[in-house]
Structure 1
Amino acid sequence: MEKTLALDTLAALGQETRLDVFRLLVKAGRTGMNAGAISDALAVRPNTLSTHLGVLARSGLVSATREGRSIIYTADLDVMQELVRYLLQDCCGGNPDLCGPLVTALSCSPGMKSGEC
């Protein structure tokens, strides 16, 4: 990932509604959600949501697929993985042992205690 793309991706997530949309789509998984369902779930006006979905799509974090008359939005976790990889590329001065706690924390499910991971 290039620096410019990393900045665009971070900027897309740097707004409350867009972060909420992305997190909702991550929870929705591969089935995704249509704009109406996203709008209802987050109580966001459709025209406002459309703008936010456009920003997320341009950053690559969200993809849109037409299914009949609906457009289904899904989170692109590959882009998020690239962003995290870019941010941690030189983690701890290149010493992977120092990054162990971070990797462990990222692999744990929410609600798990540190000894259960």
Structure 2
Amino acid sequence: MDKYESLAAFSALSNAPRLDAFRLLIKAGEAGLPSGEIAERLGAKQNSTSTNLAILQSAGLISSERDGRSVLYRANMVGVRGLLEFLMEDCCGGAPELCGAVLAEIICRPSQ
């Protein structure tokens, strides 16, 4: 992920409802969630949720797949990984082996 793709991702996440939807999809994992359920869980209007999901998808943070009459959304872990790699690219003054403990803590820490 380059600087401009990262800026698009950060812009997409800089809105509270979009951040909430993204975090919900991260929690849902590979199973994903239909757009209607995302709106319901967030207590949001369907049309606002659809707009927010389109912005997250455009930024490469989520993907969608038609499932009958509904659309199923999932976190795009390749996009998430790309954003994290971009942020950590120059970690620890060019000694990435020093970042292992930090990354393990982020990845393996249980939810609080």
Which contiguous aligned blocks of 4+ residues in structure 1 show a shift greater than 6 angstroms? none
Unaligned runs of at least 5 residues, structure 2:
none
What RMSD in Å do the two structures reach over aligned CA positions? 1.5
Normalising to structure 2: TM-score of the pair? 0.92
Unaligned runs of at least 5 residues, structure 1:
113-117
Separation of aligned partners in 2, 1:83 and 1:51: 22
Q: Does 99-108 or 47-56 show the bigger shift?
A: 99-108
Aligned residues: 112
Q: Deviations over 1:3-47 (max 9, x none)?
A: 100100111111111111011011111111111100110001111
Aligned to 2:55: 55
| 1:22 aligned onto 2:22 | yes
The structure with higher relative contact order (CA 8 Å, sep 6+) is 2
Separation of aligned partners in 1, 2:7 and 2:105: 24
- For the pair shown, the structure with the greater C-alpha radius of gyration is 1
1:12–1:103 CA distance, 2 compared to 1 (3 A): same
Normalising to structure 1: TM-score of the pair? 0.88
Q: Deviations over 1:32-70 (max 9, x none)?
A: 111110011000111111110110010011111001111
Aligned identity (percent) is 41
